[in-house]
Structure 1
Amino acid sequence: MAALPSKEQIAYMIAHSDESLVPNIIICVSICGIASIVFILLRLYSQYLVSHKFRLTQSDILLLIAWVFYVVYSIGLGMITKYGGGRHVIMVTDMRLLNIWKIIDEVSYTASLGFLKLGIIRLYGSIFRSRTFHRFLWVFALLIIAFHIAISIVNILECIPIQYYWDVTISVGYCLNYGLFMLLVGIINVIIDFILVFCPIPMVLRLHTSKQKKRLLIFTFCMGGSACIVSIVRLAFSLDFDATGDPSYDNIRLSLLSLIELVAGILDTSIPTYWPLFRHITAICSPSLINSSANIDSKDSKWNSGGSIRTSPQITADVSSGQLESNISGINVTTHVELARYTNMGGNWIRVPDDIHKGWK
């Protein structure tokens, strides 16, 4: 619960009544909203390059649920501006509705963050086939679910009764130190983020592939840690949240950081699925690679949202035209003969490089 403003604070608010963070809110919500849609569309298109059809995996569904809660959070940020959010507290027109939307934002932020983490865990489970690693992911997922449910309950019951949050005339009421609570939750979230970033690295190191490819895979997963940076920056504002005499103005910076954190989380969840898209763009930018037999076509890539290589490859002989040793009428003889492995993914037979196939166990 916010503290009552002092006389000096009230005098400052009156002298700076024209100050407003509403434009900041509108710009941030607009840019982040567009970015979130682009990240998701790129993910779905990258998956289309693999299977040549649009389909949603479990990881995709969890991401879309997280995005729905993200949209609710964005709407809530927009709605608080209607009642004085983004301006000094003396300009607030409806404290009750302002705080109701604030509670909705807190719950939707927590839910979105939780589903993003579950989406990453499900993606890891579809990529790595180790049973031990799967058991770890299941336990970790259950802990995350319990953690975020507990946070949501505290968000709703921050003040008891709830009306005490905006009506200080109620004689019997209590509010917890929400700034301290957010700081503790933020620290735990940062720890969880680091675990999610680094837990697949031991699995990558076990792959039977070149060191260069291992470094590339590790770099891909570490790129998914951008939300960690935002979470750490967000910690610096946590203690002051709801602890000042001007919450409708001072809380906005933390709210905008939370919005950016969710968008970064959407990007983090999608980065490991962009590999087919990266290969596709590389092939377009370097047409000579398309004609090379060593090049892996983007649709043959392992990296897709939720796909996994099956353990029953088919061996086929891929014969392509090359320099002819002889030219008998009706018969062409070539020295270009290549053995290739193929796997069935979504009803499509897709070529798998030998080193990658041996590594995914």
Structure 2
Amino acid sequence: MAHDTPAHGNDADMKMSFVNSSLLGVAISLPIIASIAVGLRLYARRLKGHTGIKTDDWTLWITLIMCWAHSINTIIAGVVGGIGTITLPPREYANVALRTLWVSSFFLITALYTVKLSILFFYHHLFSINDSFRRACYFMVGILTLWWISSITIVLLSTDPFDAAWRDASRARHRFDFNAWYVTYSGLSIFFDVVILCFPIPMVRSLRVNTRQKISILGIFWLGGFVCISAIVRFVFLYNSIYQLTDFGQNRYSKVTAAFIWAEIEPNCSVIAACLPTYGPFFKEGRFLPGFFRSLRSKIGLSPTSRHMSHPIGTSHKDGSAYYELSKTAGSKKGTGEISHGRGSQASLA
């Protein structure tokens, strides 16, 4: 964060707040959608007869809390400094903007950490019998925990004195190149996302099902691929904008808006993506989603016994969802809903 006084540039440019209506809309709407996704996840668990709370559940709840905290921090910045147009003197607004960036780092770092843990614990519960896979999950959890602790410590102690980032952010003296570190952190987060996406591949490959079914099952786990895309987009915007904010460059406030928007999108979409693989019960025969599709077909004049639509949407043996493929490769064992691998590598629903 810079020591310089703000440069005198285009007046309209200098009056633009980084919190605009687009950022505000994303900050309000996405946590609501993520909360609905978590609620549906809990309901899906109840449909399967699960009432207990597992590790992947409470780590996801922590992520959701961090998403709300991140959004509230952004909203407060808009209320204090202005939405669309700056309502404070330039130096004072610079403090508000930079302080918001600093505080949001704690929420974002924690959210991206806990959602990765939630996905790993979900994998761990799903493939709990394979000892090698369990050890790999524990190892990755350890790596991520060290990454999170070091990142939080670095952000907390980034300025000298350490509270300068809060008291007078625009004049704060850094102990290191904070911008370079933040870009590096974002790159590592993308790397860990890709690694975690690849985690189920060895387990799915060992299932005694055909290639199409394996691809369908992997498709369930890879529903979170958009998170990697959003992380990459955030990385690009962060790289292009953070220097302009901290160095008081031209159009510095509006330039950082896109990075903040994607900083809202990434953790909230991560929560949604972590919930999607648990929605299998909604697609089973007799659930409300197949019922909705049958009702829709009836209203548009399609017979439920049509030769081409003989299976309810969501449960079709030929054209059904990937959730059906996952459930089809699994047998029932104590109804706990977890996949384990026996000696023959045949998936079972444990």
Residue 29, structure 1, aligned to residue 27, structure 2: yes
Residue 269 of structure 1: how far off its partner (Å): 1.1
Q: Helix, strand or coil: the match of 1:4?
A: coil
Give distance in 1, aligned partners of 2:33 and 2:169.
40
Query: How much is the aligned-residue C-alpha RMSD, in angstroms?
Result: 3.6
Deviations 1:167-197, CA, capped at 9 Å, x for gaps: 4897x94343222112111111111101111
User: What residue is the counterpart of 1:73 in the other structure?
Assistant: 70
Residue 4 of structure 1: how far off its partner (Å): 2.9
**Any gaps of 5 or more consecutive residues in structure 2?**
295-303, 305-309
Q: Helix, strand or coil: the match of 1:31?
A: helix
User: What residue is the counterpart of 2:203 in the other structure?
Assistant: 203
Give distance in 2, aligned partners of 1:2 and 1:50.
54
Give distance in 1, aligned partners of 2:195 and 2:229.
14
Give distance in 2, aligned partners of 1:200 and 1:28.
32
Give distance in 2, aligned partners of 1:231 and 1:109.
12
Larger relative helix fraction: 2
Larger relative strand fraction: 1
User: What residue is the counterpart of 2:221 in the other structure?
Assistant: 221
Range that drifts further, 84-93 or 27-36: 84-93
Among 267, 270, 287, the alignment partner of 1:265 is: 270
Q: How does 1:46-61 map to 2 (within 5 A)?
A: 46-51=44-49, 54-61=51-58
Give distance in 1, aligned partners of 2:279 and 2:155.
35
Give distance in 1, aligned partners of 2:164 and 2:238.
22
Asked whether the 8 Å contact 1:76–1:102 carries over to 2, the reply is: no
Deviations 1:121-156, CA, capped at 9 Å, x for gaps: 000001113110110110000000110111111112
User: What residue is the counterpart of 2:158 in the other structure?
Assistant: 158
Give distance in 1, aligned partners of 2:134 and 2:238.
34
Residue 11 of structure 1: how far off its partner (Å): 3.0
Q: Helix, strand or coil: the match of 1:174?
A: coil
Q: Which residue type is aligned with residue 80 of structure 2?
A: Y
Give distance in 1, aligned partners of 2:232 and 2:2.
24
Residue 97 of structure 1: how far off its partner (Å): 5.5
User: What residue is the counterpart of 2:61 in the other structure?
Assistant: 64
Mark the CA change 1:27 to 1:177 in structure 2 (over 3 Å): closer, same or farther.
same
Deviations 1:183-221, CA, capped at 9 Å, x for gaps: 111111111101111110121111112333211101111
User: What residue is the counterpart of 2:140 in the other structure?
Assistant: 140
Q: Larger Rg: 1 or 2?
A: 1
Residue 344, structure 1, aligned to residue 334, structure 2: yes
Residue 301 of structure 1: how far off its partner (Å): 7.8
User: What residue is the counterpart of 2:248 in the other structure?
Assistant: 245
Residue 83 of structure 1: how far off its partner (Å): 2.9
Q: Which residue type is aligned with residue 263 of structure 1?
A: N
Residue 161 of structure 1: how far off its partner (Å): 1.0
Mark the CA change 1:85 to 1:253 in structure 2 (over 3 Å): closer, same or farther.
farther
Q: Which residue type is aligned with residue 358 of structure 1?
A: Q
**Any gaps of 5 or more consecutive residues in structure 1?**
310-340
Mark the CA change 1:44 to 1:130 in structure 2 (over 3 Å): closer, same or farther.
same
Give distance in 2, aligned partners of 1:136 and 1:215.
22
Q: How does 1:230-241 map to 2 (within 5 A)?
A: 230-239=230-239, 240-241=241-242
Mark the CA change 1:85 to 1:201 in structure 2 (over 3 Å): closer, same or farther.
farther
Residue 225 of structure 1: how far off its partner (Å): 1.5
Deviations 1:274-330, CA, capped at 9 Å, x for gaps: 22223345642357658xx998xx9x98979xxxx8xxxxxxxxxxxxxxxxxxxxx
Q: Helix, strand or coil: the match of 1:11?
A: coil
Q: Which residue type is aligned with residue 194 of structure 1?
A: V
Mark the CA change 1:182 to 1:203 in structure 2 (over 3 Å): closer, same or farther.
same
Give distance in 2, aligned partners of 1:224 and 1:169.
37
User: What residue is the counterpart of 1:324 in the other structure?
Assistant: none
Mark the CA change 1:221 to 1:168 in structure 2 (over 3 Å): closer, same or farther.
closer
Give distance in 2, aligned partners of 1:234 and 1:266.
17
Give me the identity figure in percent.
18
Residue 252 of structure 1: how far off its partner (Å): 2.8
Give distance in 1, aligned partners of 2:189 and 2:81.
30
Normalised to the residue count of structure 2, the TM-score between the two structures is 0.76
